[in-house]
Amino acid sequence: MRIIPAIDLMDGKCVRLTQGNYEQKKVYNANPLEVAKIFEDNGLEYLHLVDLEGAKAQRVVHYKILEQICNQTKLKVDFSGGIKTEEDLKIVMESGAYQACIGSIAAKNPELFLEWLQRYSAEKIVLSADVKHEKVMIHGWTEKTDWSIYEFLQQFLNYSLKYVICTDIVKDGTLTGPSYELYLQILRKLPSIHLIASGGVHHEKDIEGLKNLGCEGVIVGKAIYEGKISIRSLLKYA
C-alpha cells in the first residue's frame, strides 16, 4: 500500500485545515523541508505536498518549497494546488515533482486534462477528486460543481487514467475516520481505478480498513501531527 504523509503549505509553513476551512488553520512547523526530512529519515517514500494558497489563487505559489524538498530529499512528491495552466504544470514538473495532481482543470476543462494525461503519462498525472456529499468541489474546495464523483471519474477511464486521490472534505482534518462507504462505492463502480484515500484517518485500524477495501494508498496528515499515529508504525503498511 502506498503510505503518503501530507504537508499542507500556507505562508510557507506546514499547516493543517479542518474541512478545508482556511480560517481554521493550525501551524505545525515553520519549516516544511524539516518535516519532509523527518518523513524520509523514518523510512517513508512518498509525500503529498499541497499548495493551499496556490489552490485559492488559482496559480502555483509554493514551487520553491517543492524544489527544495525534491532537491534535498529522495521523497517521491505528488504536488497539488494551483495547477491551472501549461506554465503551472511545467513549473511543477521542472521543480522535481514525481506526480502532479490536477483537480479543478479536470472539472472545468476536461479536454486540457486529457491532453496533459496523454502527454505526461498516467504515471505522472493524478486526478484529484475533492468531494462533499458526493459532489466534486474545486478551487481549493470553495466552489461546488454539478459533477457527481462517479460521473466525474467515469469520463476519464477510457483515456488511460490510473491514479485518483479522493478527499472527502467533510472528513478532512476531523480525525473521525475515513469515508469508507464513499470509497467502497467508487471501487465497486470503477474497479480499474487505483484509488488513494484522503481525509479523516485517525489511527492504524483506519489504514487497515482502507487496505482491505482495496485502496491503492492513503494520505495521512493530521493524525501524524497530532500524535495519533506514529511515523514508524506506518512502515508496516508500506
Q: What residues are labeled active site?
A: 8, 130
Contact 174, 194 (CB under 8 A): no
Cell of 211: 487496505
Question: Any idea what the Cα angle at residue 167 is, between residues 166 and 168, rounded to 5°?
Answer: 120
Q: What is the largest CA-CA distance in the chain?
A: 43
Neighbouring-strand partners of residue 219? 4, 198
- Alpha helical stretches, state H, 42-128: 52-57, 63-72, 86-94, 104-108, 110-120
SS3 content of the chain, % helix, strand, coil (to 5): 40, 30, 30
